[in-house]
Structure 1
Amino acid sequence: MSQESRNTEHDPSREPPGPGLGDGKSKRPVEEDLATAFLRETEVIEESIENGQKVRRKGIYLLPNLFTTSALFAGFFSVVAGINGDFTAAAVAIFIAMILDGLDGRVARMTNTQSAFGAEYDSLSDMLSFGVAPALVAFNWILQDIGKTGWVVAFLYVACAALRLARFNVQIGSTDKKWFIGLPSPSAAAFVAASVWTFHSFDAEAFGFKLLMLIVVAAAGILMVSNIRYYSFKEIDLKGPVPFVVLLAIVLGFVVISVEPSVMLLLLFTGYVASGPALAIMRKM
């Protein structure tokens, strides 16, 4: 073999390029392929029937799910605050979650961005914010002092909230939208949270208040799974014009609540909780 042949054989420039070296391709396309594969494997695909045909839709609607995520965060914050003994912040967080939960559905309807994913996500968020959080806050504050009865009642509330949400999900579209069947879980949570907020603010930890909180939590749980009807307020049209007196009443409501928020909210939701049984009794008379 000639010297020229040997030099040519061992010339590095004649060797096939290694992966990613001199082949005109960088590692960027590989990374992009991995990213694309990851997005493909984690993509949300919904199937629905539209005009008699099955339609597949990829992705989720961002705006309403941002409200749901914010409500979920508020519920989680309430749990953490309750564990750390900050019961006022825990109660306030439940009310914030309630406001955000009321907005996500309305935003979805106004923007025509309803989806099955959003409905399921909202239900799971409600379970934490209005099922687990109120029970844990009430238990960590005062129910644990009652012993076994305290945690049994706290669990009763959580179980009733789960059953209430499950029943609501399967009854969507089959009931009168003017009424809720059973106490809505956000209202039950607000009733418990307002009670904790008010009694804790006044250092009301005597045995009588422990029994009162026991009754509040148990009653809220049982009313959630009852067949008692509660007004839903869904007939109120937020997009249409309203009389000036309605806006004035809302402003006055904010002023009254701001004077003593915990007490006013407790009175407000006690009235709503009592309205269901009261209307049921009146209908039977």
Structure 2
Amino acid sequence: MSSLFQPFTPDRNEPPRRRFRPVPLRLLIPNLITLLALCAGLSAIRMAIEGRIDFAVYLILLAAVLDSMDGRIARLLKGTSKFGAELDSLADFVSFGAVPVVVLYLWGMNQAGPIGWIAVLVFAICGALRLARFNVQIDDPNRPAWMGNFFTGVPIPAGAVLVMLPIYLDNVGVPRGLIHPWLVTGYTMAIALLMVSKLPVFSGKKLGSRVPREMVLPLFVVAIAFVALMISYPWTVLAVGTGLYLASLPFGVARARELAREEAAARAAGIETGAEDAALDDPVAAEPPDPAEGR
């Protein structure tokens, strides 16, 4: 009796198939930048363990700069991919959700005892929730167009920079009594809550896409001055910048509410205009409906 399953004999003339397709270099460059940011974030933990808190902060800031570059370079090279988006999200959690607060804990928040470590956990968990919500909201079709200028809650890279404010103040020379571990613990939890809040935060993504010609040279001067100040007085610039960012949050909320009111008014005006146009086109539709209809 012959077998029901005949043996498969490949065609010898068939060309061999390639097991893996080559990956374009433009897809690798953004992912490489993301991995460099991840390495910088992880290296900050080593610096903090060795007591070099200054270098740890610098590495976290470097990770933030690289994180701001990878997405833009990916769009510029047309190298965006689902893999890159997931990798960027995981790297952001490590570099900005876990590392900064661990550095802060090793800097002095550990003196608050178990409450200090609870603040570390709360910040890390809020960072993970913040990233998960961001990934979900990307595909939300009902999101208003004006929300493209705003984040929902403080973004996690900004939260990482904000939460290290006590370290900036310590290097500026603020007395330790004003940055007591218990105060730092409360501040850390407040920043964590800001990340998972529904607070509309101005993103600045569409700001400066085109610069007027008369503003090009002043912009160069401001950029050079900022870099010079950052090199000469890094802790003062970071402390002042953090304070200005926190002070700008209420203005972002006010602007978002104003845009929401404008959109609601425009929608209401559109509905009224549409109803008037329909009444003019169909006189019967303008008559009030019969109450008995539809019983």
1:163–1:225 CA contact under 8 A, matched in 2: yes
Corresponding residue number in structure 1 for 2:187: 216
Looking at structure 1, the residues matched to 85 and 229 of structure 2 have their Cα atoms a distance apart, in angstroms, of 34
Structure 2: segments with no counterpart, 5+ residues: 1-16, 259-295
Residue 198 of structure 1: CA displacement?
3.6
Task: Map residues 1-285 of structure 1 onto 2, 5 A cutoff.
Answer: 61-174=27-140, 175=143, 176-200=147-171, 202=173, 204-206=175-177, 208-237=179-208, 243-244=215-216, 245-280=218-253
Residues 173 and 204 of structure 1, relative CA distance in 2, 3 Å threshold: farther
d(CA) in 2 for partners of 1:120 and 1:72? 13
TM-score computed with the length of structure 2 as normaliser: 0.71
How big is the shift at 1:154?
Answer: 1.2
Alignment deviations for residues 67-88 of structure 1 (CA, whole Å, 9 cap, x no partner): 1011000110111212222111
Question: Does the 8 Å CA contact 2:230/2:237 hold for their aligned counterparts?
Answer: yes
* Runs of 4+ off more than 3 Å: 57-60, 200-208, 236-242, 281-285
Q: CA deviation at 1:241?
A: 6.6
Contact 1:78 1:90 in 2 (8 A): yes
Q: 1:65 to 1:282 in 2, by over 3 A?
A: closer
Identity of aligned residues (%): 31
Instruction: State the AA in 1 paired with 2:237.
Output: M
Residue segments in structure 1 that go unaligned for 5+ positions in a row: 1-35, 46-56
CA separation of 1:150/1:178 partners in 2, compared to 1, >3 Å: closer, same or farther? same
Partners of 2:223 and 2:254 in 1: CA distance: 29
CA drift at 1:191: 1.3
1:182, 1:226 within 8 Å by CA — same for their partners in 2?
yes
Query: Alpha carbons of 1:164 and 1:191: their partners in 2 closer, same or farther (altered >3 Å)?
Result: same
Q: Whole-Å Cα distance in 2 between the matches of residues 199 and 86 of structure 1?
A: 14
Separation in 2, partners of 1:101, 1:166 = 17
Distance 2:92 2:39 in 1: 11
Asked if 2 retains the 8 angstrom alpha-carbon contact of 1:94 and 1:193, the reply is no
SS of 2:201's partner is strand
2:205 & 2:178 partners in 1: Cα distance?
40
- Partners of 1:201 and 1:87 lie apart in 2 by 14
Following superposition, the deviation at residue 260 of structure 1 comes to 1.2
Give the corresponding residue for 1:25: none
Instruction: Tell me by how many angstroms 1:250 deviates.
Output: 1.5
- 1:20 is matched with none
- C-alpha spacing 1:92/1:198, structure 2 compared with 1 (3 Å): farther
TM-score, with normalisation over the residues of structure 1?
0.73
Deviation at 1:108, TM superposition (A): 0.5
Match of 2:280 in 1: none
How far apart are residue 230 of structure 1 and its match?
Answer: 1.1
- The 1-side partners of 2:190 and 2:123 are apart by 9
Aligned in 2, Cα 1:166/1:255: closer, same or farther, shift over 3 Å? same
